[in-house]
Amino acid sequence: MTVIDANRMNEIEARYPEYFHRSFRQRFGGLMILIATLLYSLYAVWFFDLPKLFAEAHWERVGIYLSQWVSYDVQPEFRIADDGSIDIRYPRFSPLGDNPHPDWLVNNPDGSIAVSISGTSRTVTVSKSQTIVTAHGISVPVDVSSGAPKVVGPVPGWMTVYDDNVLADLGFAGNVSISVDRVKIHKRFIGWANFIFDTQSSFFDKPVGEVVGLIVSGPRIKPGQSNLSLAFDDIWNNSEWQHGDVWTKLFQTIVMAFLGTLLGSLAAFPLAFLAARNITPNRLLNQILKRFFDFLRSVDMLIWALFLTRAFGPGPLAGCGAIFLTETGTLGKLYSEGLENIDNKPREGIKSTGAQPVLVHRYGIMPQIVPVIVSQTLYQWESNVRGATIIGAVGAGGIGLKLWEAMRTNANWENVAYMVILILIVVFIFDAASNALRHRLMGTKTH
């Protein structure tokens, strides 16, 4: 064991004072940051009243909306006439078409109608005097022969009785609304109804093999048009999913992001040289341009879109303009900061040979700044694909407006899911393309 005397200790302390004479900030800085973070978190909980918000939130709606993203429902309505006959009606735009005959609906010999909501475990039997709902292992009759529907026997927890209506909640499978003269059923199916062909198509409700046979070698359905062309028209003009309009709007969004970013980079590039202190030694001009960049960046892209839709009307032009203004400010700041951080030795060396300023910039500055310009521009282009979707919701065109219209109805959540998936795919593709292009231009390998 080595013993260090006092002189040796003093020598070590003098050589490494940063370890033996640490300031208060160095000793307790981490702890103070942790305490400040905890205090701020408690303040945020109190300021936003988070316990009350969580307690009053409608969490059940989350499950409802998510289920509607991946499923659809059919809503048959059974109207009971005075003579005891039962008339079956479907909504005008039913996923089953104009003349549905589903196999889950059976007419019994006694005049009643049996409906399978989910196999044999959840069924509804409608007759002129009563409706029997079977779920969770029990059958509950509801008498409809008197002035108001009445549950016969104890009321289970999944059934709610109102003055003129009885509602049976059957979970994800659907629900049943029972009144004296009608029974309305919501039966839910997994999947997206009529995603390929809508109910007006000549190929609707045909098996896949039959559709393929008609397209490849079948007789023409319309004399003046091939079956392949007819099938494409029916898919593109699907009235329920509107594939043609959705894809056109998606392409508008991509064009908006590309054109806005391109114009913003072209405008920011020369301005950045004037804003950089080491390139343009004019303090006043530097400050004016930098404050101009700050102004363009400080006004959010969404606000620019609102201004421009007032000026030019709704459409992609307003979206391109909003991205252009925002990117001019953002890229101008990034480019100018990149220019101010270059190594001046190559520039000074070329200048000492008597080269013209254009050549000095070309060979002394550009090789250093090009990787920064390429990297930042590609990143902003990728980011603006997402931003163009948001500004579309305020009327700037593109798929964002289409998405907002579907959400406002509060009933077309499967269409919302379709467009969200398309947007995610486009973002993933552009992210991969941007990374590959950036690495290729900068000469680095991807991992």
What confidence category does residue 363 fall into, taking pLDDT thresholds of 50, 70 and 90?
confident
Residues 180 and 308 in one domain: no
Whole-prediction pTM value? 0.79
Choose one of 12, 30, 57: the last residue of a domain.
57
| Cα–Cα dist 341/344, whole Å | 9
Answer yes or no: is 42 within a domain.
Answer: yes
13 — pLDDT class (breaks 50, 70, 90): low
- Domain check: are 46 and 96 in the same one? no
Q: What are phi and psi of 20, to 5 degrees?
A: -105, -20
Report the C-alpha gap between 135 and 124 in whole angstroms. 9
Q: Per the domain annotation, does 229 fall within a domain?
A: no
Look at residue 67 and tell me if it is in a domain.
Answer: no
Does residue 206 sit within a domain?
Answer: no
Q: Does residue 293 sit in the same domain as residue 405?
A: yes
User: Residue 385 sits in a domain of what CATH number?
Assistant: 1.10.3720.10
212 assigned to some structural domain? no
Pick the last residue of a domain from 31, 57, 83: 57
What is the reported pLDDT for 67?
Answer: 85
Strand order in the sheet with 122-126: 105-107, 113-118, 122-126, 130-135, 138-143, 150-151
β-sheet bridge partners, residue 91:
none
Q: Quick one: average pLDDT of 17-40?
A: 80
**Stretch 105-132: mean pLDDT, rounded?**
90
Higher-pLDDT residue of 220, 353: 220
Looking at the fold, whether 349 and 409 belong to one and the same domain comes out as yes
Within a domain: 437: yes
Strand partners, 159: 168
pLDDT value at position 400? 87
Residue 1 reports pLDDT greater than 70: no
Query: How sure is the predictor about 184, in pLDDT bands with cuts at 50, 70 and 90?
Result: very high
The percent of residues above 70 in pLDDT, for the chain, comes to 94
- Answer yes or no: is pLDDT of 111 > 60: yes
pLDDT digits (tens, 9 = 90+) for 282-341: 889 999 999 999 999 998 898 999 888 888 888 888 889 999 999 999 999 999 988 888
In this structure, the answer to whether residues 402 and 287 fall within a common structural domain is: yes
Strand 174-178 vs strand 86-89: parallel, antiparallel, or unpaired?
Answer: unpaired
Contact 136, 173 (CB under 8 A): no
Helix H segments across 16-58? 17-20, 24-47, 50-56
Residue 446 pLDDT > 60, yes or no?
A: no
Amino acid of residue 224 = G
Sorting pLDDT into bands at 50, 70 and 90, what band is 348? confident
Residues 282 and 170 in one domain: no
Q: Are residues 299 and 422 in the same domain?
A: yes
Same-domain check for residues 92 and 161: yes
Out of 2-6, 95-99, 255-259, 359-363, least confident range: 2-6
Kindly state whether residue 62 falls inside one of the protein's structural domains: no
DSSP state of 92: T
Residue 213 domain-assigned? no
Q: Which domain holds residue 30?
A: 20-57
pLDDT for position 371: 81
What's the structural domain count of the chain? 3
Domain-terminating residue out of 163, 190, 217: 190
- Does the structure show a pLDDT above 80 at 22? no
Alpha-carbon span 301 to 305, nearest angstrom: 6
Residue 183 structure tokens: 């029974």
pLDDT value, residue 98: 81
State how far Cα 374 lies from the chain centre.
27
pLDDT tens readout for residues 199-245: 888 888 888 999 899 888 888 888 888 899 999 999 999 988 999 99
Going by pLDDT thresholds of 50, 70 and 90, the confidence category of residue 178 is very high
- Mean pLDDT, rounded, of the chain: 86
- Predicted local distance difference test score (pLDDT) of residue 331: 93
Same domain, 307 and 399: yes
Please tell me the distance from the alpha carbon of residue 325 to that of residue 307, in angstroms, as a whole number: 12
